[in-house]
Amino acid sequence: MAVTTRLTWMQEKKLQNCLGGKQFSLLFKASVHESSSEDLLRRCCNQGPTITVIYSDDRVIVAYMSQGYDEQNKFTILFNLEGTKILKCKIEPVSPLKVFNSRSNLYNCKNLDFQIDLKERKVTMSLNTIEKLTLPQCEIVSFQECEVFRCEDLLDTRKMKGLSELRESLLSAIRTYKPYRDLVCQIRILLLGPIGAGKSSFFNSIKSVFRGHVTHQALVDSNRTGKSEQYRTYSIKDGKDGNVLPFVLCDSMGLSEKKGLCVDDIFYILKGHIPDRYQFNFMKPITPGCGNYINFPMLKDRIHCAAFVFDANSIEHLSVEMVAKIKRARREMIKCGVVYLVLLTCVDSMDLIVRGDLIDIYRCMPVKLKIEKVHKNLGFAISDILVVSNYTSEWDLDPIKDVLNLSALRQMLLAADDFLEDLPLGETAIEERQLTSVQKKN
């Protein structure tokens, strides 16, 4: 059976942040392995930097050793984790052999700042250390459990190499993607969601990956006032002069309680009646025949997949009116047979989330809770909720963000295939006849 830690997610996260984005792998646990310093040293030698965690009632005392258990440490840092508080102090570098040397007379080693007796389950600390960590004035602290972890950088070169390879394979899969039975040349993806959710930023992020540098074509509304009232359909080229990619991202006006997109307009967008640069008017829903309304849209003009975009930080604060609008929009999609997914943005700015977490974001507890909330409050299936992280103020491309965003895009293309495959036979037959006649003419 796998040996599991007693550290909570929150405690691990706090330590990770204090130690500059490290991840921990459990090497030793006193209650599972032999409670002897010899066994501990055998398991923990040659493992690089380590943390030794002492659980004493509600308190967790942690010793970070920069050189681990093999040699004399350059520095040792002690932490005292109590509830949500974390206190740290640097102590004289300690030799692990001395820390755990059961043969030494523990209580006579007054010159050591920190010493553990595994057999007796007691830690001794100097008065100076006790004061710095605001521990109760008692030099000997008894404990219930002791664990040792190896500390590694969350983003080491091996992981970054793996990410770059994944990024390349996603790019290649999207470049070479062909819509189901070639029924259309490009998949049209509608981005829909509250004002300020990150719809335009998602388009900019995808365009940036294919362009090779960060671009901000679509106006991003940093004040979240919802100024984008135009319907924009964006085709993206692979590189500056490359081929047009097999998808179009359609950026709509944001949903809002008052001045946002009329939910009645969604039906016309889905069916392909609305042209690029159409000016929305929240006071006046679209009526057939108005302006440059497309009277007889073809399959290529329709929306093949929709993405509801939500800011992870405001999912709990959506008003009753907004939730009702979202649910209506979803019903509209079901009616039109359009498949939909959810994009959860801004996870990078959530409390305690660091860049390194983005490589395994679906396992991050606060993100899992957000996904649960979207599922419970809005009724979307958990498997349809995808996490993305948009470019906001960066200058350089980040493979971690690219992998998240490209994975979401790939899921949308696969979902669009489901839509095309599910079209009533009559509709695909007409479309295929039109396609062959266009091909013959050319």
Would you tell me which residues interact with ligand GDP (CB under 6 A)? Answer: 193, 195-201, 220-222, 224, 228, 254, 309, 345-346, 348-349, 389-390, 392
- Shortest gap between Cβ of 64 and ligand GDP (angstroms)? 30
Residue 114 φ then ψ, to 5°? -155, 125
CB 173, CB 410: distance < 8 Å:
yes
Q: Which residue, 129 or 345, is less far from ligand GDP as judged by CB?
A: 345
Instruction: Measure the CA–CA gap between 255 and 240, rounded to whole angstroms.
Output: 33
- Shortest gap between Cβ of 198 and Mg ion (angstroms)? 8
Task: Give the residue closest to Mg ion by C-beta.
Answer: 200
For residue 126, state whether it binds Mg ion (rule: CB under 5 A). Answer: no
201 interface partner picked from ligand GDP, Mg ion, none, CB below 5 to 8 A per type:
ligand GDP
318 interface partner picked from Mg ion, ligand GDP, none, CB below 5 to 8 A per type:
none
196 interface partner picked from Mg ion, ligand GDP, none, CB below 5 to 8 A per type:
ligand GDP
- Shortest gap between Cβ of 345 and ligand GDP (angstroms)? 4
390 interface partner picked from ligand GDP, Mg ion, none, CB below 5 to 8 A per type:
ligand GDP
Task: Give the residue closest to ligand GDP by C-beta.
Answer: 198
Going by C-alpha positions, the residue among 86, 82, 66 that lies closest to residue 74 is 66
Q: Which residue, 19 or 253, is less far from ligand GDP as judged by CB?
A: 253
Residue 9 is inside which H or E element, if any?
helix 9-18
Place of tokens 């965003």: 405
Instruction: Measure the CA–CA gap between 133 and 228, rounded to whole angstroms.
Output: 52
- Shortest gap between Cβ of 359 and ligand GDP (angstroms)? 16
> Helix or strand or coil: residue 335?
helix
Scanning 186-194, 227-235, 263-271, 393-401 for contacts with Mg ion by CB under 5 A, the matching segment is 227-235
Q: Which residue, 60 or 195, is less far from ligand GDP as judged by CB?
A: 195
Q: Which residue, 30 or 197, is less far from ligand GDP as judged by CB?
A: 197
Q: Which residue, 99 or 344, is less far from Mg ion as judged by CB?
A: 344
Going by C-alpha positions, the residue among 1, 142, 133, 140 that lies closest to residue 63 is 133
CA angle at 12 for the pair 383 and 112, rounded to the nearest 5°: 165
Instruction: Measure the CA–CA gap between 197 and 59, rounded to whole angstroms.
Output: 40
Per the structure block, which two tokens stand in for 178? 């062909």
Q: Which residue, 82 or 221, is less far from Mg ion as judged by CB?
A: 221
Distances (CA, A) of 124 to 135, 172, 257, 355: 12, 58, 61, 37
- Shortest gap between Cβ of 204 and ligand GDP (angstroms)? 7
Per the structure block, which two tokens stand in for 440? 């013959």
For residue 200, state whether it binds Mg ion (rule: CB under 5 A). Answer: yes
For residue 73, state whether it binds Mg ion (rule: CB under 5 A). Answer: no
Instruction: Measure the CA–CA gap between 17 and 426, rounded to whole angstroms.
Output: 58
For residue 228, state whether it binds Mg ion (rule: CB under 5 A). Answer: yes
Instruction: Measure the CA–CA gap between 73 and 398, rounded to whole angstroms.
Output: 34
Which strands form 50-56's sheet, in the order they lie side by side? 22-29, 145-153, 50-56, 59-65, 76-82, 85-91
47 interface partner picked from ligand GDP, Mg ion, none, CB below 5 to 8 A per type:
none
For residue 233, state whether it binds Mg ion (rule: CB under 5 A). Answer: no
**Beta-carbon contacts of residue 244 (< 8 Å; ≥ 6 apart):** 186, 235, 236, 237, 238
Scanning 78-86, 208-216, 226-234, 429-437 for contacts with Mg ion by CB under 5 A, the matching segment is 226-234
Per the structure block, which two tokens stand in for 398? 């980040």
- Shortest gap between Cβ of 122 and ligand GDP (angstroms)? 46
Q: Which residue, 122 or 370, is less far from ligand GDP as judged by CB?
A: 370
CB 254, CB 199: distance < 8 Å:
yes
Q: Which residue, 63 or 255, is less far from ligand GDP as judged by CB?
A: 255
Q: Which residue, 249 or 339, is less far from ligand GDP as judged by CB?
A: 249
Residues that bind Mg ion (CB under 5 A): 199-200, 228
